[in-house]
Chains A and B, each alone.
Chain A
């Protein structure tokens, strides 16, 4: 059923991947482990309170202050990834930015200023990464896409500037009073900045059409930057992430062999669970790129028998199964196609019942596969566009997409589905207050669909349009038309629940038309 277009608000935990890599360069390890443990247990408020309490007693120049500030802002950024409401997420990002800006104003220590500036930039990259993932749920939200594009470009400018600043500070000679710090930490900070820069360039490339020269340019720049990081020490997390990014670039370029070689060089045993999952996803993507869909599904199935957590690779499993189902249907093997789709549906439900961003995307992928089957891929895509634009607040474009979907589906003949799409189109037009146009659409819809169960709803909507037109231009002709439509609804749909609503309107209209009683002379 094409119910009124709406997109569910992303609820539950987001638990997005690609953790913010703050790499506090001057961290005290037990303290770092303590905060990491609190974050792993999602004790956000406790971690934030501990940091804020400690900050109250630390002078601006204390080295410990820097560690606490970095822990606090990393906690706020990860907390932002974990909340379902956009306003709450935004508030946490702003709080983290405020903390960093305040510290930047208070400290003159160069090493601290650089660490704070890198953390500030990382925070903006994290914001961009979260928004990009969320935008995948509704790719028709153009305003959001524009916002993400602007944020990415700003990030690239800022990261380039930081990369230059760090290079200038390290070479030819660091300040004498900070030599030890620069030997170790500035190099780490610069690698972190370069990795972020490569990720932002890659993200900007991916948001552009495949034929765009700007995309090719961004990919080339991203590769140049990421090579600097991937050639670093093999055990460093940044190097592994850089290698993973480089693998993706080779795969997109169609060089599967080099991509596989790079992927095999990553030591997954040392990686955190989420990054390990990204490697698994990439292994599957690589098989898919080589048209080895069944191998990809087997790889992902096996992995999910071991790790039940719903992550990025779980979404990969669902999309692979739906693609395999589609391929089986094209080979006219309906039984296998149905079985694969049913497996996708089962697998899209998280084992522990805990919904998150990836499970929401997985369920969306299954729903899309079902819609493709029900309406045909082209009409289903138009319905999705209508729904997405409606959710983004663009009613005009939503109505246009539903109108096109209706025309396309109706060409195959009148059905409950074509009626439902036509009715959804009319509902959006009513919201736009385009009563004349809606009336015309509904007249056509009712005339061409004689036996649909939803006829009473369409007819009541038609009556409401006539009422609104009468209200806009009161006159005898409009009133008679409105009255006749109400009487016809009450007569033609005696068993429909809409009858009571129409009867109520009719009674009120008749009461309004009764001449006012003439005052009697006293």
Chain B
């Protein structure tokens, strides 16, 4: 069976966004030095940070990614951090990711999630 043209693949704490048959990633995160916040990484380079629900910052411009990838990557990063900080299970994190993607009309990415049981 051929790979779908869109989707998300998870592996450990990283994930890749598949868009038009091409994978972009890895997106990942790292705890800030004081373990109070989280830094967002793209290909191991910091592109944003989370300090609190009111202080989230992300800028992927320098990577010149397609807009869809930026949207999906940001939504998934935000959902994952929400899940980690609130101690959500895999199933609950997946629900958050699916719901947030669907809210923005990006269900087709949520339909093809790989690497999560």
Contact = CB atoms under 8 A, between A and B. Distances in A.
B84 interface: yes
Contacts of B29: 504
A513 to B, nearest CB: 12
Chain B interface extent, by class:
10 to 19
B33 interface: yes
A509 B34 CA distance: 9
Given A500-B13, A504-B30, A457 B87 contact: yes
Interface string B46-73: 0000000000000000000000000000
Interface in B59-117: 84-90, 92, 116-117
B109 to A, nearest CB: 20
Considering residues B84, B85, B87, B117, which has the most beta carbons from chain A within 10 angstroms of its beta carbon?
A: B87
A3 B92 contact: yes
Contact of A505 (B31, B36, B88): B31
Contacts of A456: 89
B10 to A, nearest CB: 9
Nearest to B10: A497
A288 to B, nearest CB: 36
Interface in B28-44: 29-31, 33-36
A467 B87 contact: no
Interface string A102-119: 000000000000000000
A382 interface: no
B76 to A, nearest CB: 15
Contacts of B89: 453-454, 456-457, 497
A426 B117 CA distance: 26
Interface of B: 12-13, 29-31, 33-36, 84-90, 92, 116-117
Contacts of A460: 84, 87
Nearest to A462: B87
Contact of B87 (A426, A505, A508): A426
Contacts of A509: 35
Interface in A428-460: 430, 453-454, 456-458, 460
Nearest to B117: A497
Given A4-B86, A461-B87, A501 B13 contact: yes
A512 B12 contact: no
A178 to B, nearest CB: 55
A241 to B, nearest CB: 39
A451 B65 CA distance: 45
Chain A interface extent, by class:
20 to 34
A205 interface: no
Contacts of A470: 35
A508 B30 contact: yes
Contacts of A3: 92
A504 B31 contact: yes
A22 to B, nearest CB: 36
B35 A468 contact: yes
Contact of A458 (B12, B33, B87): B87
Contacts of B30: 504, 508
A332 to B, nearest CB: 35
A505 B35 contact: yes
Given A500-B12, A501-B13, A504-B13, A423 B35 contact: no
A464 B86 CA distance: 10
A339 B1 CA distance: 43
Contacts of A4: 86, 88, 92
Interface string A482-504: 00000000000000010011001
20 contacts: A3-B92, A4-B86, A423-B87, A426-B87, A427-B87, A430-B85, A454-B89, A460-B87, A461-B87, A464-B35, A464-B85, A464-B87, A467-B31, A471-B35, A471-B36, A497-B89, A497-B116, A504-B30, A505-B35, A508-B30
B84 A501 contact: yes
B34 A471 contact: yes
Given A464-B85, A467-B35, A512-B33, 13 more contacts: A426-B87, A453-B89, A456-B89, A457-B88, A460-B87, A464-B87, A468-B35, A471-B36, A497-B89, A497-B90, A500-B12, A504-B31, A505-B31
Contacts of B117: 497
Contacts of B88: 4, 457
A427 B13 contact: no
